[in-house]
Amino acid sequence: MVDVTPADAVPPAEVGEMELYHPHSWWTKYVFSQDAKVIAVQYSITATAIGLVALVLSWLMRLQLGFPGTFDFITPEAYYQFITMHGMIMVIYLLTALFLGGFGNYLIPLMVGARDMVFPYVNMLSYWIYLLAVLVLVSGFFAPGGPTGAGWTLYPPQAIMSGTPGGQDWGIILMLSSLILFIIGFTMGGLNYVVTVLQGRTRGMTLMRLPLTVWGIFTATVMALLAFPALFVACVMMLLDRVLGTSFFMPAIVEMGEQLQHNGGSPILFQHLFWFFGHPEVYIVALPAFGIVSDLISTHARKNIFGYRMMVWAIIAIGALSFVVWAHHMYVSGMHPYFGFFFATTTLIIAIPTAIKVYNWVLTLWRGDIHLTIPMLFALAFIVTFVNGGLTGLFLGNVVVDVPLSDTMFVVAHFHMVMGVAPILVIFGAIYHWYPKVTGRMLNEALGRFHFWVTFLGAYLIFFPMHYLGLMGIPRRYAELTDMNVMTESAHHLNSFISIMAFVVGFAQMVFLFNLIWSIRHGREAGGNPWRATTLEWQTPETPPAHGNFGKELPIVYRWAYDYSVPGAKEDFIPQNVPGSFAPSREPA
Amino acid sequence: MSVILVFLLVIAGFAGWWLSHQRLTSKPWLEQGVAGDFVGLDRSALPTAKIGLGVFLAVVGCLFSLFTSAYFMRMGLSDWQPLPLPRLLWLNTGLLLLSSVALQCAVVAARGGQTDMVRLGLATAGLTTLAFLAGQLMAWRQLTEDGYLLASNPANSFFYLITGMHGLHILGGLIGLGRTSIGAWSGTRPERLRLSVELCAMYWHFLLFIWLGIFAVLAGWAATFIDICQRLLT
């Protein structure tokens, strides 16, 4: 069946090889490394470590909510500090850093067929500044007064007032400095990810042949580069308000009978800046997850992705639209009703490209040869969870529904489902999928299945009841939920149940960590391409890929990334670098 | 937030134009073979460093658009008292313009392979830029001596914040200029030198453009201009 087309006569490589930096010592090879793969592992380990801190914080919060009054050391101040640090760490220092810094660094060069990122030195700096940002963040725990307790949104004026933990101490200053550092570091990394996709692609790798993982990470990085400056501006201005007494955000305010020196500032201005970053941030986390899950589903269902073009367009459309919906986080700020109407409309429009993606995932599965491997289980769980969380998003996108629900547990349940649990499920799936490439060994299957089922079912047992609590009117952000009309005895039992489940799910993550470490030495040998996948990272001569990724010659790409189960082909997958054309498969779209 | 939205619209227009050349409507599942027949779909012929700098400048532009957005939103509140801009800023603008021109001359010289002229251009640019930064600091001192302190009015706060941020970016550029100058004197390969001189010139032109923009905003011309536009529209 293989008929060789004239284009298969390999043309001379038009692109010169990049000058690759070669490390000479152990330090430059493993610590101050400029190799994107090492940087990716460094990013991932740091993000996981700080993520564990956030996990412990969530346990402490659940202890307080489930068993109020039992634990003396969890004062209301401490509770607010836990909330703040948990939210900020999870959203920025874990999810953003892991998806873009971790997966972006590892997968972009390998998937586009490059030897490394285009600016390796800047890439290395990016990690070290990120690490510094994490250390500054953590130092808040040891500073006098502890970390800030302003909530992850850091709304002024309360964020820098003495009533808020860390407001007049070190906490808020360290938090803002850490964010500023993070953004500087991220910008360095982000330049690399974008320009590598633009300029580092190997011969034949057109944009429309990129795996969707790269499309997701690429678009998310572009968005992050344009959205993070808003947070940067907000942080710098708030830092000036706090340290030098300016009044960008601080209105005239009387605190404990004393007139503060601030005058006339606008807290709403901060909210606009914060959410101008904050909403794209949701998609900065979601788009890489969308991309990765597309590849997981296609690979493990042995079927080409349904509607590749639509998937690409939807990613671009979501990226563009997400910049004009930010004020839907501010319905309760007293905005003009027409603004509310406009932002509700744009918010609901985003549901269209998102729904297209969900349909395409489901249609990819339709009559596929589904292998229920662990990555596939996580991918399926992601689809379900994302749809669940997305549907409550449709509720909250409407002004009249959002206003009564805004300060209840319903919102907590919504955003944990859609941008907490869903992306984390993809991260787990992706780790089970690519761990064999990074280490050369498979993760343990039995432990993996245990980890999946406990995490998946446990997450639902945590967050489904929370929707119900929210509808009952139980407020979020309260350190004590006793002595309230809405807090019935049954609601209290439900809260205790949620807390216990939070510990169970957390325990499953310890099993996962054990699996990660144990399998480095004791896992089954994986070979180069254990999943029989088509994309370039599985075609490297060595596993784990050596410095420079592809041996002597860069691969040449002859086809798209989804040639699974092509009729007439010998195997049920054709790698992207295999020449020769086969009879065109059924029209997939 | 209108300034940043207009800026993003420009970026989106540029991205859309670029994407429209990437055959996003092709059907990759039907097309096998090396993409040699799709001319222009591989990487751009521009040097990678230039594209990297272009992306970075988009981020910088985004940053200053956001500062401007915040400026306009804060300006509408009642306690705003515009501050008189020191006339020194005109001289500073001239200095920055001069450094940009000098770098452009260096680019022309580098393309013609005249190393002496490159060195002259780089040195002039470096000195005028340092003079610009000194001038900005003097403008700050004049304002503080006249009682326009950072925290006394939001107009002052924004003036110091935005000019300071611009100055920091210039300072960062000076590191690049310094490295280029070392290369120019120690004799790097001509094509390499040309590239770094071109990158410096690109950065300087952009920061000059930003400076002209924020100068217009801080002096109040931008607000007047927007006001006139709004009146014409209504």
Distance (Å, whole) CA B199 – CA B10: 22
Hey, what are A495's tokens? 């809260």
Spell out a b/e string for A122-158, using b for 16 or more CB atoms within 10 Å of the CB, else e: bbbbbbebbbbbbebbbebeeeebbbbbbbbebbbbe
Q: Do A199 and B157 touch (CB under 8 A)?
A: no
Q: Is A414 on the interface with B (CB under 8 A)?
A: no
Q: Which of residues 503-562 of A touch B (CB under 8 A)?
A: 556-560, 562
Structure confidence by residue, pLDDT tens digits, B141-184: 999 999 999 988 999 999 999 999 999 999 999 999 999 999 99
Residue pLDDT, tens place only, B101-146: 999 999 999 999 888 999 999 999 999 999 999 999 999 999 999 9
Which residues from B are below 8 Å from A562, CB to CB? 29
Interatomic CA distance for residues A88 and A140, integer angstroms: 13
Q: How far is B53 from chain A (nearest CA, A)?
A: 9
Distance from CA of B231 to the nearest CA of A (A): 22
Query: Closest partner residue to B34 among A7, A198, A225, by Cβ?
Result: A7
Domains of chain B: 46-77+86-233 (1.20.120.80)
* DSSP single-letter state for residue A417: I
- Kindly list the residues from chain B whose CB atom is less than 8 angstroms away from the CB atom of residue A187: 56, 59
Q: Do A201 and B42 touch (CB under 8 A)?
A: yes
Q: Are A420 and A505 in contact (CB under 8 A)?
A: no
Residue whose tokens read 């939920």: A481
A323 touches chain B (CB under 8 A): yes
Q: Which pLDDT does position A11 carry in this prediction?
A: 46
A313 contacts chain B (CB < 8 A) = yes
Q: For B46-74, what is each residue's pLDDT tens digit?
A: 889 999 999 999 999 999 999 999 999 99
What residues of B are in contact with residue A588 (Cβ under 8 Å)?
A: 29
B-contacting residues of A 86-125, CB under 8 Å?
A: 118-119
CA distance A315 to A287: 7
- For residue B33, give the nearest of A8, A201, A276 by CB distance: A8
Q: Which of B26, B55, B63 lies closest to A194 in CB terms? A: B55
Taking only the tens place, the pLDDT of each residue in B9-35 is: 999 999 999 888 888 888 888 877 775
Identify the bridge partners of residue A581 per DSSP, sorted by sequence position: A3
Q: Give residue A191's pLDDT.
A: 96
State residue A588's pLDDT score.
47
Could you list the beta-strand ranges (E) of A257-321. Answer: 258-259
Q: Which of A208, A231, A247 to mutate to test the interface with B (most CBs of B within 10 A)?
A: A208
pLDDT for A20 equals: 77
Second-level CATH architecture of A36-250? Up-down Bundle (1.20)
What is the rounded radius of gyration, in angstroms, for the C-alpha atoms of chain B?
A: 22
Show the CA angle centred on residue A537, arms to residues A444 and A206, nearest 5°. 145
pTM of the predicted protein model: 0.94
Best probe of the A interface among B8, B46, B66, by most A CBs < 10 A, is B66
- In B, minimum Cα distance to A584 occurs at B30
Residues with Cβ within 8 Å of residue B188, at least 6 apart in sequence: none
Say yes or no for a CB contact (<8 Å) between B12 and A203: no
Chain A's closest residue to B164, CA to CA, is A236
- DSSP, residue by residue, A68-124: TTS-TT--HHHHHHHHHHHHHIIIIIIIIIIIIIIIIHHHHHHHHT-SS-SSHHHHH
Show the tokens assigned to B114: 């005249």
Residue-by-residue DSSP string for B29-58: GG--S-GGGSTT-SS-SS-HHHHHHHHHHH
E-strand ranges in A171-293 read: 254-255, 258-259
Distances (CA, A) of A318 to A165, A230, A349, B178: 37, 19, 9, 42
Q: Which residues of B touch A312 (CB under 8 A)?
A: 24
Minimal Cβ distance to A245: which of B22, B151, B158: B151
Strand extents, DSSP E, A307-426: none
User: Between B28, B52, B79, which is nearest A209 by CB?
Assistant: B28
Strand partners, A239: none
Structure tokens at A50: 């700080």
Contact B70 A559 (CB under 8 A): no
Q: What integer pLDDT is reported at residue A105 of this predicted model?
A: 96
Separation of first and last alpha carbons in chain B: 20
Half-sphere exposure in the Cβ direction for A317 (13 Å, CA): 18
Buried b (16+ CB within 10 A) or exposed e, A410-433: bbbbbbbbbbbbbbbbbbbbbbbb
Could you report the predicted ipTM of this complex, rounded to two decimals?
0.94
**CB distance from A207 to chain B under 8 Å?**
yes
Q: Which residues of chain A have pLDDT under 70?
A: 1-19, 581-589
Could you give the CA distance from residue A549 to residue A537 in angstroms, rounded to a whole number?
9
* Domain range list for chain A: 36-250, 534-589
Question: If pLDDT is split at 50, 70 and 90, which confidence band does B78 have?
Answer: confident
Q: How many residues can be counted in chain B? A: 234
Distance CA(A187)–CA(A101), nearest Å, equals 11
Q: Are A360 and A307 in contact (CB under 8 A)?
A: yes
Contact B11 A261 (CB under 8 A): no
User: A7-21 pLDDT, tens per residue?
Assistant: 444 444 445 566 677
Amino acid occupying residue A273: L
| Whole-number Å distance between alpha carbons of B149 and B141 | 10
Tell me, yes or no, if A320 comes closer than 8 A to chain B by beta carbon.
Answer: yes
Helix (H, G, I), strand (E, B) or coil at A325: coil
Q: Closest Cα partner for B70 from A357, A270, A413, A320?
A: A270
Q: Which one of A187, A204, A563 has the shortest CB-CB distance to B35?
A: A204
Q: Where are the alpha helices (DSSP H) in B79-153?
A: 88-112, 115-145
A295: nearest Cα among A107, A440, A116: A107
Contact B43 A195 (CB under 8 A): no
pLDDT of residue A462: 96
Separation CA A238–CA A364 (nearest Å): 47
Residue A13 is predicted with a pLDDT of 47
- Of B92, B205, B75, B95, the residue nearest B140 (C-alpha): B92
* Two structure tokens written together for A308: 């590749």
User: Beta-carbon neighbour count of residue A341 at 10 Å?
Assistant: 10
